[in-house]
Chain A
Amino acid sequence: MGRLVDWYASPPVAFVLDRWNRKHGPGGRLAARARIELWRGRGWRWRIRRLAFRLVSPTPSSLLGSFVLFAIVASLTLLLGGSDLRSSRQLSGGLETMWQVQAALAALALPLLGLIIQLAGEQGQTAARTHEVLTRQSWIFPISCLALFGTLFVGGLLVWSRSTLGATTGGGWLTLTVVMALLAYYRSLRTLNDPLLMRRLATKLLQERMQNSLDYSAALRVANNRLLAALSSRQATYFPYVARSDRRRWLVLEGPPDMVVSDVRLGRLLRFIDSLPRIAPLATSEPQASESVAASRADEPIRLLKVPGDRLLLNDRGVLALRLDAFAPIKRESLGSLLLAAFDFETGL
């Protein structure tokens, strides 16, 4: 058991788990499936709005989206346009001019707008900071990405593909960047000069963040519902939820010392419980873990239980409790590694 605990606490594994939990919070893996199902249950309009929220803010999704667009357009242009290095001087001159305008946009116009946004004082709204609202409203980050990738793109055309298709695509990209940059200025200045709009946008930004947080909380609760429903159908439960006065009825299996449960691997945990010797076989009509979210929602939509990791900090080391009247005598020492494989442990959260 000790070796397994060491493996869980080893720096690379701890790093990955830490990254995961920073992003999803404790219980993230358990909740991930519920989150996907909840996501699927929403309409397309909701999904597009969520995607747009990610794309217009300075997020990895926005950077990745710009890069993917750049990669597709640049590859197609280089592949289909070919290279004609004997092309006319007019074509080369056109490409050079385009490159200069792109570079000016990327190096001057957009950073200047970024500076204006950063220096704009608070405009009298309470919900969010002015620069946050303007950064989102102006779409300055994706537009700057477009401009920088455009500079790279037109520069690449100048060196490798002075073709008519290249010039047309480069011109198209430049036009798109110029229009977007103008739009960024327009939207920023309009928002700065309209306090009502600023307030509305600030409120909307906070509402979106509330929605994001609630999505995670709801998914975690659905996952907890599922965990507890699956465990209780097998005469077991997640130990921290056993009332202190009721603990004599349970056989408690413990986790490693000085660690907390940061996640539960439901499939492994259920297989582990199913492999234990029982006094009487389980009735098959009881609910199983594969129940859909909708079914568990219909039963009891939102439970009062929350994050698995939080409770173990306050309680002792028990992670799983088995009903003494349902299971045959079990040697706890022999179960350690199987039990540990069903949970993710961390030194702290």
Chain B
Amino acid sequence: MSSHARRLQAELDFLRDSTIGAIRDRRLGLLKDGLDVYEELVGVFLGQLSALDSAYSRERALREIHSIGEGWSEVEWIERNYRDILDAGFNCEDQAVIDDVLYFPMRLAHVASRHRDYYI
């Protein structure tokens, strides 16, 4: 793993902890900010693929997702973080929080469809 990847992983851990902290403290503004940042990061990923003329078609996305090889680490980290955030959201039993967190994949799907990407 490159030093850039390690640094990004540490930063994503910080983002996840901040977002989970916001859920625990019922700070909806901060939670929205955290989820916005994740959405922006997914946008950066898809922008990078577009810049390389490599947006995932449906077939390629399915092949990559179902392969035994690893996918993009950056996306995996975001996915893992989201699972933790989702757990924290369900634990807090606050409908506003759960709504925000549950709706998040739809936001990502919207970003992906804007970039004509099937991987996300």
On A, residues with C-beta under 8 Å from B are 22-26, 28, 38, 42, 124-129, 199, 202-203, 206-207, 209-218, 297-298, 301-302, 304-307, 310
Q: How far is the CB of B36 from chain A (nearest CB, A)?
A: 8
Bin chain B's interface residue count: 35 or more
Q: Is the CB of A306 within 8 A of B3?
A: no
Task: Give the contacting residue for A214; candidates B48, B53, B71; CB below 8 A.
Answer: B48
Chain A, residue nearest B9 (CB): A213
Chain B, residue nearest A222 (CB): B52
Collect the chain A residues with CB atoms within 8 Å of residue B36's CB.
203
Collect the chain B residues with CB atoms within 8 Å of residue A206's CB.
11, 15, 37, 40-41
Collect the chain B residues with CB atoms within 8 Å of residue A305's CB.
69
Q: Is the CB of A207 within 8 A of B53?
A: no
Collect the chain B residues with CB atoms within 8 Å of residue A306's CB.
69-70
Q: Is the CB of A213 within 8 A of B8?
A: yes
Q: Is the CB of B2 within 8 A of A304?
A: no
Collect the chain B residues with CB atoms within 8 Å of residue A298's CB.
53
Q: With A126-B33, A217-B74 as known contacts, state yes or no: A297 contacts B7, CB within 8 Å.
A: no
Q: How far is the CB of A344 from chain B (nearest CB, A)?
A: 16
Supplied contacts A124-B33, A216-B5, A297-B53, 7 more A-B pairs, CB within 8 Å: A126-B37, A203-B37, A206-B37, A212-B8, A213-B2, A214-B72, A217-B5
Q: Is the CB of B37 within 8 A of A210?
A: no
Q: How far is the CB of A245 from chain B (nearest CB, A)?
A: 13
Chain A, residue nearest B33 (CB): A126
Q: Is the CB of A302 within 8 A of B49?
A: yes
Q: Does B90 contact A (CB under 8 A)?
A: no
Q: List 23 A-B contacts (CB under 8 A).
A: A25-B3, A124-B29, A125-B33, A126-B22, A126-B34, A127-B18, A127-B33, A128-B14, A199-B33, A203-B40, A207-B41, A209-B4, A209-B7, A212-B4, A212-B7, A212-B8, A217-B72, A217-B73, A218-B52, A302-B54, A304-B67, A304-B70, A307-B1
Q: With A28-B2, A206-B41, A210-B45 as known contacts, state yes or no: A297 contacts B69, CB within 8 Å.
A: no
Q: How far is the CB of B49 from chain A (nearest CB, A)?
A: 7
Q: Is the CB of B54 within 8 A of A304?
A: no
Q: Does B28 contact A (CB under 8 A)?
A: no
- Complex Cα gap A27–B77 (Å): 21
Q: Does B44 contact A (CB under 8 A)?
A: yes
Q: Is the CB of A210 within 8 A of B74?
A: yes
Q: Is the CB of A23 within 8 A of B69?
A: no
Give residues of chain B (26-68) contacting chain A, Cβ–Cβ below 8 Å: 29-30, 33-34, 36-37, 40-41, 44-45, 48-49, 51-54, 56, 60, 63-64, 67
Collect the chain B residues with CB atoms within 8 Å of residue A217's CB.
5, 72-74
Q: Is the CB of A210 within 8 A of B14?
A: no
Q: With A25-B1, A28-B2, A306-B69 as known contacts, state yes or no: A128 contacts B40, CB within 8 Å.
A: no
Q: How far is the CB of A63 from chain B (nearest CB, A)?
A: 17
Collect the chain A residues with CB atoms within 8 Å of residue B18's CB.
126-127
- Complex Cα gap A116–B45 (Å): 34
Q: Is the CB of A38 within 8 A of B52?
A: yes
Collect the chain B residues with CB atoms within 8 Å of residue A26's CB.
1
- Complex Cα gap A202–B15 (Å): 10
Task: Give the contacting residue for A213; candidates B34, B53, B70, B74; CB below 8 A.
Answer: B74
Task: Give the contacting residue for B41; candidates A22, A210, A310; CB below 8 A.
Answer: A210
Collect the chain B residues with CB atoms within 8 Å of residue A307's CB.
1
- Complex Cα gap A150–B45 (Å): 42
Q: Is the CB of A127 within 8 A of B37?
A: yes
Q: Is the CB of A207 within 8 A of B48?
A: no
- Complex Cα gap A304–B64 (Å): 6
Max chain B Cβ within 10 angstroms of own Cβ: one of A24, A126, A302, A306: A126
Chain B, residue nearest A300 (CB): B60
Report the 8 A-B pairs with minimum CB-CB distance, sorted nearest first: A25-B2, A301-B54, A126-B18, A126-B34, A213-B8, A212-B4, A304-B69, A216-B2
Q: How far is the CB of A247 from chain B (nearest CB, A)?
A: 15
Q: With A126-B15, A212-B8, A213-B8 as known contacts, state yes or no: A304 contacts B71, CB within 8 Å.
A: yes
